[in-house]
Amino acid sequence: MRYRTIGTGAARRRVSALCLGAMKLGGVMDDSASFAILDRFLEAGGTFIDTANNYRFWEPGCTPDDSEALLGRWRAARGADLPEELVIATKVGARPTVAGGGAESWEGLSRSAVAAAAEGSRRRLGVERIDLYYPHVEDRAVPLEETVDALSELVEAGTVGLLGASNHAAWRLERARGLAEAPGRHRYQVLQLRYSYLQPRADLPLPEAAHVHATRDHLDFVREENAAGRDTAVVAYTPLLMGAYTSADKQLSRAYDHPGTRARLAALDEVAAQTGATRNQVVLSWLIDHDPPIIPLVGVSRTAHVDEAVEAADLRLTADQRRILDEAE
């Protein structure tokens, strides 16, 4: 396993180069299967786990509490066996306030909503401090200053370590960065966005309406922040496109139906043949050594998926192999 550092100052953390997505754990999967996946990830050197306070409320028979509560039960069961380096990230903002509600019923990012959500997440996770806390989605009905202040108050109180932002437009991130220059405010040090080797057309929407795909502006923002000494990490969700790289029954959405996709898949197969790795492993390795570096957030449903992903963390592509992948269009 490779590792990297996220954050600065006292809240700085060393995390695995792969992040395990816990969205399915505890909801559509029982405790036994979920615990096995978490244990395997830790055994392989993984230390970074991602969840949210609304996973997976949209699935029949599931509730918004399921993933966080599962992680809380796992933490309690493993106790002293858990490594001190373990980092669990969670999110606020997209939890429905009424059963069966859609986006119109989400809790949002007001000061009161953020404070109440953080308390609920800490209780379900069984932690005194949330290691990394993201606004899950934007809430433009609330002034950005209010959200930044609400999150910063949690950091000042010691109940949150690092702040991040998920699914935010690049200009909103820059505006939040400016606000965070004021005393007592804390900036977003980790960004979570959708990203993978295959790139969708910008003029067509993704079917997953809440997903915000990383743009050139997002990546340029991160490079400039890092160059200025304001270290900013990127976590990429859906890096394997929900199985579409390797499963014939998983279809890419219409946004990926363009000549660049076919060229990139051919390049991916060429590099996979050279390395003896799977398509998935080449994609994950490409992301880890990206400019800027990216931490892939991998959702799994079997321990075999964990093993495949962990092997990718040790795969080092040559400069020529990266050129083949980067120049395909």
Active site residues: 55
Rounded-to-integer distance, Cα 161 and Cα 77, Å:
24
Q: Are the C-beta atoms of residues 18 and 3 closer than 8 Å to each other?
A: no
Query: What's the CA gap between 86 and 105, in Å, rounded?
Result: 33
Which 3 state secondary structure label does DSSP give 190?
strand
Query: Which alpha helices (H) appear in 79-227, and where do they start and end?
Result: 111-125, 144-157, 170-179, 216-227
- What are the structure tokens assigned to 69, written together? 């509560």
Side-chain half-sphere exposure of 180, counting CA atoms within 13 A: 20
Quote the distance between the C-alpha of residue 321 and its chain's center: 26
The C-alpha atoms of residue 27 and residue 66 are separated, in whole angstroms, by 5
- Which residues, including other chains, have CB under 8 Å from residue 50's CB and lie 6 or more apart? 19, 20, 21, 22, 88, 89, 90, 192, 235, 237, 297
Rounded to whole angstroms, what are the CA distances from 299 to 181, 202, 254, 283, 303? Answer: 35, 25, 22, 14, 11
